[in-house]
């Protein structure tokens, strides 16, 4: 079980979180440098000693605290979750925002945003500076998201109940949007005990997934796109990111399929102590002009 320290919450510091956790019976485990080095090479990360009260910082994403799984951990009683100072977030689900890396003041579209775990993560990365246009076509989920944004002290988000595919890339409002986070509906096959998705449904999902990426690429200032799913199926992952540039060969986007240099695609599974997840980053090609002088 992972939790992110939400630096947007008033007065939150690492020391304050640590004190609060100690008061609620948690014990911070500090691995040795050797343990950390070895763990960084293993995708499964650190191996803490036994004891359900133990928590530690994730070796790959030190901004995440790692607790025992749900039901075995003390975290359920920690008030800091109600106050929005600590936010539960799966390790893999933190990858897209980290890959996208929106700077302070960025203009961002989160196209499939609800319930907003990645939206609030980006807002924290941007220190609430800039703007995140957060769309979702499901009104109920969007409502939940709005409550969560308030609880997490997020102020730079403009939520809208809209289908991202119907948002015009010509609209002046989005003229300066450079960063796009695309986390569309998927089969959720990377989560536990999901029923098998029927082939026709899978085709429909893949179609929407590709359309969402293609649509983002049409926005005039688009520079970076993080695409993700919690699916383990190639049809929703590698096949989607492989297909997109072929459908729009004139677009000047580099792609990093699994086949030749997959450095911008990430897959995770339960073996990595997180869910089955896929994340790919598209970066608009920059033309470098080299001068000999």
Annotation: binding site for S-adenosyl-L-methionine: 112-118, 136, 163, 183
Among 116, 130, 159, 190, binds ligand SAM (CB under 6 A): 116
Write out the DSSP string of 156-177. SEEEEE--GGGS-TT-GGGTT-
Sign for the pseudo-dihedral over CA of 275, 278, 284, 288:
positive
Minimum CB separation from ligand SAM for residue 184, in Å?
4
HSE toward the beta carbon, residue 12, CA cutoff 13 A? 19
- Kindly compute the dihedral angle of the four CA atoms of residues 284, 261, 41, 58, in this order, to the nearest 10 degrees: 30
Between 30 and 166, CB nearer to ligand SAM: 166
**Element (DSSP H or E) covering residue 54:** strand 54-57
Tokens of 42: 């293993």
Among 208, 231, 237, 268, binds ligand SAM (CB under 6 A): 208
On whether the CB atoms of residues 3 and 87 are closer than 8 A, the answer is: yes
The reply on whether position 144 binds ligand SAM by CB under 6 A is no
Minimum CB separation from ligand SAM for residue 232, in Å?
14
The reply on whether position 138 binds ligand SAM by CB under 6 A is yes
Degrees, nearest 5: CA angle 16-17-19: 65
Among 45, 84, 115, 130, binds ligand SAM (CB under 6 A): 115
| 36 prior amide bond cis, ω within 30 | no
The reply on whether position 236 binds ligand SAM by CB under 6 A is no
Site for ligand SAM in 4-33 (CB under 6 A): none
127 has catalytic annotation = no
Nearest to 209 by CA among 232, 240, 181, 188: 240
Tokens of 175: 């003229």
**Element (DSSP H or E) covering residue 122:** helix 117-125
Minimum CB separation from ligand SAM for residue 135, in Å?
5
Site for ligand SAM in 146-185 (CB under 6 A): 163-165, 183-185
Minimum CB separation from ligand SAM for residue 207, in Å?
11
Minimum CB separation from ligand SAM for residue 275, in Å?
12
Among 141, 143, 248, 256, binds ligand SAM (CB under 6 A): 141
The reply on whether position 118 binds ligand SAM by CB under 6 A is yes
The reply on whether position 136 binds ligand SAM by CB under 6 A is yes
The footprint of ligand SAM (CB under 6 A) covers 111-118, 135-138, 141, 163-165, 183-185, 208, 212
């Amino acid at each position: 079980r992972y939790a992110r320290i939400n630096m947007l919450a008033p007065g939150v510091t690492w020391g304050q979180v640590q004190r609060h956790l100690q008061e609620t019976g948690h014990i911070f485990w500090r691995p040795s440098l050797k343990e950390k080095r070895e763990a960084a090479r293993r995708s499964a990360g650190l191996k803490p000693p036994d004891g359900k009260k133990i928590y530690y910082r994730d070796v790959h994403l030190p901004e995440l605290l790692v607790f025992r799984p749900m039901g075995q951990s003390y975290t359920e009683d920690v008030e800091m979750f109600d106050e929005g100072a600590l936010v539960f977030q799966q390790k893999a689900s933190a990858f897209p925002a980290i890959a996208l890396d929106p700077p302070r003041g960025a203009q961002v579209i989160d196209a499939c945003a609800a319930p907003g775990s990645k939206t609030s993560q980006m807002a924290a990365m941007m220190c609430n500076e800039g703007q995140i246009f957060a769309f979702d076509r499901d009104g109920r989920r969007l409502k939940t998201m709005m409550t969560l944004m308030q609880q997490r002290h997020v102020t730079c988000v403009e939520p809208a109940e809209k289908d991202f595919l119907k948002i015009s890339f010509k609209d002046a409002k989005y003229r300066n949007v450079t960063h796009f986070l695309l986390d569309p509906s998927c089969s959720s096959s990377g989560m536990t005990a999901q029923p098998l998705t029927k082939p026709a449904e899978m085709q429909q999902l893949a179609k929407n997934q590709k359309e969402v990426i293609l649509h983002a690429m049409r926005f005039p200032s688009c520079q970076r796109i993080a695409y993700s799913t919690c699916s383990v199926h190639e049809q929703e992952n590698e096949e989607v990111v492989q297909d997109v540039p072929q459908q729009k060969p004139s677009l000047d986007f580099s792609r990093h399929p699994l086949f030749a240099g997959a450095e911008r695609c990430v897959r995770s599974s339960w073996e990595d102590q997180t869910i089955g997840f896929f994340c790919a980053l598209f970066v608009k090609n920059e033309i470098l002009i080299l001068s000999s002088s």
